[in-house]
Amino acid sequence: MKFYDSKGLPNPDRVRIALAEKGALDQVEIVQVNLWKGEHRTVEFKIKNPSVTIPLFELDNGIAISETTAITEFIDHHFEGIPLTGIGAQERAMVHMMQRRGEQKIVDAIGAYFHHATPGFGAEIEINQNREWGELHKLKTLEGMAYFDQVLTTQPYVAGENFSMADITVFTGLNFSEAYPKVMVPADCKALQAWRKRISERPSCDFVKETNIQTL
């Protein structure tokens, strides 16, 4: 199995953490792809993933799985270990609902700010920038942080009582937000800060401390 990764970016980091939670990092071949150099825009890669995004998971039988949530579902069901996508109808629904909110309110929002209001992946890749749209999404990211702060005042994890892929999504989104576009989690988001510290202490998240985002 191959995992096409780009360390320090939120969606591939979601896969890395999911694999680490399952103790399965050593069971995949990791291929680093430098998005700043446009290494995902080759004809060969587009055939594997027409969406031209990382992460991508390639099975030994040649099947290519893109979309981080789909890859996480595969990892959760293929490898032993703690459940990441919930158990039972209600919990699975809550995990999917909250992880989607994590994508919309944090990962995708900070992504839009990064692509439109910062140099993003560089002039050759960011050819359709709209600064106003980007700035709007910086505000959306901050609203998302306030939303998850409120959620975490009443429950220990993003989707409820148990750690899940919803936590992974929000965690990686916040890390990226602070590391590169420098949109910081506000100090008054105390529940979110405390939750983030707890999640960062999980062994699966250790790599975040030494990650330097690849750039040109």
Ligand X SMILES: N[C@@H](CCC(=O)N[C@@H](CS)C(=O)NCC(=O)O)C(=O)O
Distance CA(118)–CA(176), nearest Å, equals 13
Q: How far apart are CA 153 and CA 166, in angstroms?
A: 16
H or E element: which one contains 4?
strand 2-5
Q: Where are the alpha helices (DSSP H) in the chain?
A: 10-21, 43-48, 68-78, 88-102, 108-117, 131-151, 165-179, 190-200, 207-210
Please identify, among the stretches 6-14, 73-81, 85-93, 151-159, the one whose residues bind ligand X according to the rule CB under 6 A: 6-14
Segment contacting ligand X (CB under 6 A): 8-16, 135-143, 155-163, 178-186? 8-16
Complex with ligand X: residue 117 or 149, whichever CB lies closer? 117
Nearer CB in complex with ligand X: 40/149? 40
> Would you count residue 53 as binding ligand X (CB under 6 A)?
yes
Given the rule CB under 6 A, which of 5-13, 79-87, 148-156, 160-168 is the region that contacts ligand X? Answer: 5-13
Residue 167 burial (10 A CB sphere; 0-12, 13-18, 19+): buried
The binder of ligand X chosen from 28, 35, 110, 158 (CB under 6 A): 35
Cα separation, 207 vs 216, in Å, equals 21
Q: Collapsing DSSP states into helix, strand and coil, what is residue 77?
A: helix
Residues 172-201 contacting ligand X, CB under 6 A: none
Check binding of 85 to ligand X (CB under 6 A): no
**Identity of the residue, 35 or 189, whose beta carbon is nearer to ligand X in the bound complex:** 35
**Which residues form the interface with ligand X (CB under 6 A)?**
9-11, 35, 40, 53-55, 67-68, 121, 125
